[in-house]
Structure 1
Amino acid sequence: MEPSQQDEETEDRGDGGDRPGSVLLAKRMARIALRCSRPLRRPAIIGMIGLVMGVAVLGSAWALSRPSVEVAITALPAPSTYVNLPAFVTDLRPDRGRRAVVRIALVVRVPAAHAPQLTDMNAAIEDAVQVHLRDYRRRDLEGAEGAQRLRQEVLEIVNALIHPAKADRILFREFLMD
């Protein structure tokens, strides 16, 4: 044997003696371990690739299943204007022999283009609201609920009279009961 091979085949035991073949044995065991570990690495690598592919497929499916963003272009509403209606006084239905009177001044919000039509219908609106109010008793109009109900009913009356135009809000400028 050559001296370089002998160095590879011997190992220092620490007690000053050399054991021939221990380096060779270590190299052989390393080769065997390397061969054995290769098959173990393959399934791990294949598993990792499968995991990455699965996440990619699921992520793509989720992204494609989301609704697409659609932009809707809507026209801006026509500018509105407030139209003051003249104040009027009407009697309410008597309650327990007691008569009541209500004074109302309304403000109606309509699209600016329909304001002249509303102004032309002032007399008809006043008449319809007075007829409607004569069915009420004083207690029907008391409180926030009574005022809100009356506001909604007056809005329906106004919209019926100015159709096809449409008012979108009624405000009470004055609302007095006696």
Structure 2
Amino acid sequence: MAAEAEVGTEAPAKKGIPNLFLIIGAALIVVLLAGGGIFFFLSSSGSSDAATQMDGVAGTPIPQNTFIFNLPPMMVNLSTDDGNAAVMKLTIALEVADEKMMTEIQPRLPRVIDAFQVYLRELRKSDLEGSAGIYRLKEELLRRVNIAIYPAHVQNVLFKEILVQ
């Protein structure tokens, strides 16, 4: 009976040690996974360069030292087929690389406004529906402004206000 009593007391002690290793191993895995997640989160958000930042939509670098050239607000009658009047009020800013580009744009501003007015008067209300219509408008205005001010270059067209009635 003494031998059985010793076997009975040793068995739970041996069973407790593997359970302890199992708990410690599971805790170690949790700590390593949490540490890896924190490292991944901090390294992906803190890796932007001081001079550039990544664009959330296209993933292209955006220079931080750009200048904004504000255009005067424009009001344009839109083309209609049914005879109902449609008017668009548009306020635009041009994003340029440096102040030199701003001084090059200033004397060519009448050409830019003319190119915009001619294009905008041919638009219909249906051309401006949805985000795809606004994106097409933005791309077309960027193309036209770069043609009008060549050899200077505008990086982006920014809409400050778009109102269609």
> Is TM more than 0.5 here?
yes
Aligned to 1:107: 93
Q: What is the count of residue pairs matched by the alignment?
A: 103
Structure 1's unaligned 5+ residue stretches are 1-75
8 Å CA contact 1:86–1:105 kept in 2: the answer is: yes
Structure 2 residue matching 1:121: 3-state secondary structure: helix
Aligned to 1:86: 72
How many angstroms apart in 1 are the aligned matches of 2:125 and 2:159?
A: 17
Residue in structure 2 matching 1:169, options 147, 150, 156: 156
Q: Quote the offset at 1:167 in angstroms.
A: 0.7
How many angstroms apart in 2 are the aligned matches of 1:131 and 1:162?
A: 16
Structure 2's unaligned 5+ residue stretches are 1-51, 53-62
Residue in structure 2 matching 1:149, options 122, 129, 136: 136
The amino acid that maps onto 1:109 is E
| Length-normalised TM-score, structure 1 | 0.54
How many angstroms apart in 2 are the aligned matches of 1:88 and 1:78?
A: 28
The amino acid that maps onto 1:95 is D
> With CA pairs under 8 Å and 6+ residues apart, which has the higher RCO, 1 or 2?
2
Root-mean-square deviation (CA, aligned residues, Å) is 1.8
- Offset from partner CA, 1:34-79 (integer Å, 9 cap, x none): xxxxxxxxxxxxxxxxxxxxxxxxxxxxxxxxxxxxxxxxxx9794
Residue in structure 1 matching 2:121, options 134, 146, 157: 134
The amino acid that maps onto 2:105 is L
Q: Quote the offset at 1:138 in angstroms.
A: 0.6
8 Å CA contact 1:110–1:168 kept in 2: the answer is: yes
Q: Quote the offset at 1:119 in angstroms.
A: 2.2
How many angstroms apart in 2 are the aligned matches of 1:155 and 1:114?
A: 15
8 Å CA contact 1:94–1:100 kept in 2: the answer is: yes
Q: Quote the offset at 1:120 in angstroms.
A: 2.2
